[in-house]
Amino acid sequence: MNFATIGQNIVKLTIKYWDKFLLTGLGYTLSLAFITVCVGAIFGALIALLRMSKFPPFKWIAAVYTEIIRGTPMLLQLYLFYFALPQLIPFLNKKQYLCVAIALVCNSAAYVSEIIRSGIQAVDIGQTEAARSLGMSQRLTMTEIILPQAVKNILPALGNEFIMVIKDTSLASTFFIGDLMTQCLLVKGATYLTMEPLIMVAVVYFVLTYGLSKLLGFFERRMRRGDIR
């Protein structure tokens, strides 16, 4: 491997294909990750509610769902959704981006539901007991006492989930969705260069996730400072 040539090639590729990486690729990756986390958080919250419900069948459904999603590889889930969804719902035919987004959402929802559930259950049981002993209903206890405290456990973990999802979206390139990794494959195909596009995309991913995790750390510290006041 000749590092000097690789360096030169990277400069050339950057000039020629920068828009493919930084506009198209980054755009698809970020939008996919953003949709996944936002919609995944909503569904995750619903699944967490089911999981904590007093009605056993709800509990089982949620438990089975999360266990299956967490117990099978993400790539496999992508394939399943990609091929099964258009057959089940004709509307999704030829809409690869949507199919992949749905698969990612379903995957992320399972993980997010566990984040929310553990965040809620990490709040000291004494808080519930104190609230209930004051005559507060279960609902009031949840909204006034438990959730405000649980949010402090949940938000940092949700941020980490966002970073995980950004990296997971690279699997979507299997179906040439247009994300960063897809651009990497396209440039590789067009130029017959292997190392260079890989290195370039790696840099973009790293800057993105590292920057985000620093940002999260900043917010987390601010939130903890709010605790002490």
Partner 1 sequence: METSDKLIQVVDLKKYYNGDAIKALDGVTLDINRGDVMVIIGPSGSGKSTFLRSLNLLEVPTSGQIIFEGVDITQKKGPDGKKLNIDKHREKMGMVFQHFNLFPHKTILQNMTLAPVKVKGVSQAEADAKALSLLERVGLADRADAFPIQLSGGQKQRVAIVRALAMEPDVMLFDEPTSALDPEMVGEVLDVMKRLARNGMTMAVVTHEMGFAREVGNRVVFMDGGKILEEGSPEQIFNHPQNPRLQDFLSKVL
Tell me whether residue 72 or residue 127 sits nearer to partner 1 (CB atom). 127
Would you list the DSSP string of 142-167? IIIIIHHHHHHHHHHHHHHHHHHHHH
Query: Nearest distance from residue 116's CB to partner 1, in Å?
Result: 18
Would you say 14 or 137 has its CB closer to partner 1? Answer: 137
d(CA 10, CA 2) in angstroms, rounded, equals: 12
- Which of 90/226 has CB closer to partner 1? 226
3-state class (DSSP) for residue 136: coil
Distances (CA, A) of 195 to 49, 169, 189: 46, 20, 12
Q: How far is residue 97's CA from residue 28's CA, in Å, rounded to a whole number?
A: 9
**Closest CB to partner 1 among residues 148, 189:** 148
Tell me how far, at minimum, the Cβ of 152 lies from partner 1, in Å. 8
Q: Which of 99, 212, 114, 98 is nearest to 164 (CA)?
A: 212
* Least Cβ distance, residue 113 to partner 1 (angstroms): 24
Residue number, 206 or 219, with CB nearest to partner 1: 219
51 — phi, psi (to 5°)? -60, -30
Residues in touch with partner 1 (CB under 8 A)? 124, 126-127, 129-137, 140, 144-145, 148-149, 227-229
Minimum Å gap between C-beta 141 and partner 1 is 10
**Shortest reach from residue 142's CB to partner 1, in Å:** 13
Question: 199, 12 in Cβ contact below 8 A?
Answer: no
Pick the closer one to partner 1 by CB: 64 or 134. 134
Q: How far is the CB of 224 from partner 1 (least distance, A)?
A: 12
CA distances from 97 to 25, 28, 114 (A): 13, 9, 26
